[in-house]
């Protein structure tokens, strides 16, 4: 027996209650006369009905609440209750570091970084000694606010009280060797990574339009003059928080996701890398190598443009 | 108290409101994780991580959008990450006798059914699990979103950035594949009629 032509789709929709009353009546009438279609409907209904037919652990609720509670007590404040306007430079510093972790981390394994002021202990990278030194200390970076102003503020570690000055230097760049990337997009390169621009997202998380305009401005300003790759770190956001120019291309976006964007050419989203929450932050996975690096949970949503020469 | 109000209160730090949200969604989240990961231990781990993440990010949740859709997106992402982390699925088989009495530690237990039913249900569960694993990722995601999370076509369309027509046809094809898998490999329960 064969299901009548076109009815597989209709039967699936019937199970989902997605047919109009007329369509449903017609299909049910047909199934009353057609054993093949009726059997198909019963089989699909059976499968659909058993997909969530599982038993639940008795301690499901308690174990979830306990895990949430433990996550609160892990030394980090719960992020959802943090103040709405964190220090801009703190966010910038975190985002800048994402670039380095993003570029170098694949080869390096776990790189922890953040606002603790501690050295970056886990770094074992394949770059030069200068590169390693770079990672052992807060970087000197070039940064520019979205509105074009310079950031001459002193970064603070806030609650840690450790305090750390971020000295701004235009065009700072750092030598790196990249043996592989998280995407395979460029496989091997040696050159300088330059932080060209970082857009603070705090001002645009509530306004996609504003950010879209800024990204377009940025794109126009860059005008294909450099080999730029952007990392858009979606630490907290949802799809609707993304600027339109990215949202239109991106699939679903979750908190903890990183978008790798081709800033040089067309602002296309080249890769979406999902991350998983850990005690320390996010683990970002490299699909190809199965290695990962860690992004501190205090990171903010943000777009960081880097230049990689010597590609 | 409706869901929007609960979310609002939870965002403001009201623990009871957050816990009520957990109660509302924990089973769906667990079921989704179970269907992705295929065993209880991992499903529980993933469920915990989902709500840890929800707790951390609730402050950023846009209340104009659907909380359930947002939650299920996180759930699916966490589950996919869980699979990546683990390397492969289903490390804990459903039906390994764990002691001399033949207790099936990981087996689905339900006293409402007699032993035959228990076996049949566990067998069906295993086949569904394997069937889901056999699906291409895009089919797996969509059938779990629809049949486990219960997302509407529109919500799936929004989540996956697919046209509604594509959602419909992909769900239909995913179910067709599951049907074929069960017909081929399943120790079919009497209630599952064959349709050669």
Q: Please, what is the angle between helix B40-57 and helix B67-86, to 10°?
A: 130
User: A112-121, A189-198, B146-155: lowest mean pLDDT where?
Assistant: A112-121
pLDDT of B187: 58
Using an 8 Å CB-CB cutoff, list chain B residues near A69: none
Is A80 part of the contact surface with chain B (CB cutoff 8 Å)? yes
Q: Which of residues 274-293 of A touch B (CB under 8 A)?
A: 274-277, 283, 285, 287, 290
Residue at A103 is within a domain: yes
Residue A71, both tokens: 């996550």
Neighbouring-strand partners of residue A232: A259, A303
Q: Are residues A16 and A132 in the same domain?
A: no
Residue at A59 is within a domain: no
Residue at A73 is within a domain: no
Q: How many residues does chain A have?
A: 311
Inter-residue contact B159 to B146 (CB < 8 Å): no
- A278 pLDDT higher than 60: no
Q: B1-89: which CATH number, 1.10.1740.10, 1.20.58.220, 1.10.3720.10, 1.10.10.10?
A: 1.10.1740.10
Q: Are residues A89 and A211 in the same domain?
A: yes
Q: Are residues A143 and A14 in the same domain?
A: no
Q: Do B77 and A274 touch (CB under 8 A)?
A: yes
Using an 8 Å CB-CB cutoff, list chain B residues near A255: 53, 56-57, 60, 74
The dihedral formed by the CA atoms of B144, B149, B150 and B151, expressed in degrees to the nearest 10: -90
pLDDT of A25: 94
Q: Are residues A141 and A30 in the same domain?
A: no
Instruction: Identify how many contiguous H helices and E strands chain A contains and give both numbers.
Output: 8, 9
Secondary structure (3-state) at A200:
strand
Is B165 part of the contact surface with chain A (CB cutoff 8 Å)? no
Cα separation, A39 vs A34, whole angstroms: 9
For residue B25, what is the nearest residue in chain A, using CA coordinates?
A61
For chain A, what is the largest distance between any 2 Cα atoms, rounded to a whole number of angstroms? 79
Long-range contacts of A265-273 (CB under 8 A, 24+ apart): A265/A224, A267/A215, A267/A219, A267/A230, A270/A183, A270/A185, A271/A182, A271/A183, A271/A185, A273/A182, A273/A183
Using an 8 Å CB-CB cutoff, list chain A residues near B61: 238
**Domains identified in chain A, total number:** 2
% of chain A with per-residue pLDDT over 90: 17
Please state whether beta strands A189-200 and A302-308 pair in parallel, antiparallel, or not at all (unpaired): antiparallel
Residue A128, both tokens: 């030069």
| Average per-residue pLDDT for chain A | 50
Q: Are residues A99 and A22 in the same domain?
A: no
Q: Is the ipTM of this complex over 0.90?
A: no
Planar angle of CA A231, A236, A239, nearest 5 degrees: 75
Inter-residue contact B139 to A43 (CB < 8 Å): no
Residue at A72 is within a domain: no
Inter-residue contact A131 to A174 (CB < 8 Å): yes
- What would the CATH number be for the domain defined by B101-196? 1.10.10.10
Q: Are residues A99 and A240 in the same domain?
A: yes
Give per-residue pLDDT as tens, A23-66: 999 999 999 999 999 999 999 999 999 998 888 999 999 999 99
pLDDT of A285: 46
Cβ-in-10-Å burial (0-12, 13-18, 19+) of B40 comes to buried
Residue at A274 is within a domain: yes
> Domain locations in chain B?
1-89, 101-196
The dihedral formed by the CA atoms of A118, A124, A126 and A131, expressed in degrees to the nearest 10: 20
Give per-residue pLDDT as tens, A281-301: 444 444 444 444 444 434 444
| Average per-residue pLDDT for chain B | 79
Q: Which of residues 210-239 of A touch B (CB under 8 A)?
A: 236-238
Residue at A63 is within a domain: no
Residue at A76 is within a domain: no
Give per-residue pLDDT as tens, B2-47: 889 999 999 888 889 999 999 999 999 999 999 999 889 999 999 9
Is B129 part of the contact surface with chain A (CB cutoff 8 Å)? no
Q: Are residues A120 and A15 in the same domain?
A: no
Give per-residue pLDDT as tens, B116-173: 677 777 888 888 988 998 888 888 989 999 999 888 998 888 777 788 988 999 999 9
Q: Are residues A250 and A172 in the same domain?
A: yes
Q: Which domain holds residue A281?
A: 85-308
Is B148 part of the contact surface with chain A (CB cutoff 8 Å)? yes
Secondary structure (3-state) at B117:
helix
Cα atoms in the Cβ-side hemisphere of radius 13 Å centred on A7: 20
């Amino acid at each position: 027996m064969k299901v009548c032509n076109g009815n597989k789709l209709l039967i699936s929709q019937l199970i989902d209650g997605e047919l109009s009353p007329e369509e449903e009546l017609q299909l049910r009438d047909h199934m009353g006369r057609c054993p093949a279609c009726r059997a198909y409907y019963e089989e699909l209904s059976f499968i659909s009905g058993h997909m969530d037919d599982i038993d639940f652990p008795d301690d499901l609720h308690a174990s979830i609440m306990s895990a949430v509670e433990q996550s609160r007590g892990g030394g980090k404040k719960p992020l959802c209750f943090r103040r709405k306007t964190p220090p801009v430079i703190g966010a910038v510093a975190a985002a800048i570091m994402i670039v380095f972790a993003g570029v170098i981390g694949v080869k390096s394994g776990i790189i922890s970084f953040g606002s603790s002021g501690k050295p970056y202990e886990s770094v074992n990278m394949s770059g030069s000694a200068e590169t390693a030194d770079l990672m052992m200390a807060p970087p000197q970076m070039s940064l520019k606010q979205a509105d074009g102003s310079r950031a001459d503020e002193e970064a603070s570690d806030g609650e840690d009280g450790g305090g750390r000055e971020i000295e701004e230097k235009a065009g700072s760049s750092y030598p790196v060797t990249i043996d592989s990337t998280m995407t395979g997009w460029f496989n091997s390169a040696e050159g300088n990574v330059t932080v060209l621009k970082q857009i603070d997202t705090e001002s645009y998380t509530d306004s996609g339009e504003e950010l879209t305009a800024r990204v377009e401005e940025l794109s126009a300003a860059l005008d294909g003059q450099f080999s730029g790759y952007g990392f858009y770190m979606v630490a907290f956001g949802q799809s609707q928080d993304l600027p339109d120019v990215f949202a239109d291309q991106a699939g679903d976006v979750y908190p903890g996701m990183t978008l790798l964007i081709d800033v040089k050419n067309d602002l296309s989203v080249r890769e979406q890398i999902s991350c998983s929450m850990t005690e320390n932050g996010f683990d970002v996975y490299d699909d190809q190598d199965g290695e990962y690096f860690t992004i501190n949970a205090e990171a903010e949503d943000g777009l960081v443009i880097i230049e990689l020469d010597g590609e | 108290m409706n869901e929007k109000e609960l979310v609002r209160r939870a965002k403001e730090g009201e623990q009871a409101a957050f816990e009520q949200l957990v109660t509302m969604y924990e089973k769906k989240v667990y079921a989704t994780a179970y269907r992705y990961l295929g065993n209880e231990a991992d499903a529980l781990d993933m469920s915990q991580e989902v709500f840890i993440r929800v707790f951390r990010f609730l402050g950023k949740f846009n209340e104009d959008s659907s909380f359930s859709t947002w939650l299920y997106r996180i759930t699916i992402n966490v589950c996919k990450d869980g699979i990546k982390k683990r390397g492969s699925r289903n490390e804990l088989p459903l039906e390994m006798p764990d002691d001399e009495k033949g207790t099936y530690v990981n087996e689905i237990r339900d006293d409402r059914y007699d032993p035959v039913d228990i076996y049949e249900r566990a067998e069906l569960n295993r086949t569904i699990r394997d069937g889901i694993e056999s699906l291409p990722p895009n089919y797996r995601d969509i059938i779990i979103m629809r049949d486990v999370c219960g997302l509407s076509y529109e919500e799936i369309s929004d989540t996956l950035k697919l046209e509604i027509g594509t959602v419909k046809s992909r769900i239909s094809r995913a179910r067709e594949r599951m049907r074929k898998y069960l017909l081929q490999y399943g120790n079919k329960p009497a209630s599952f009629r064959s349709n050669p």
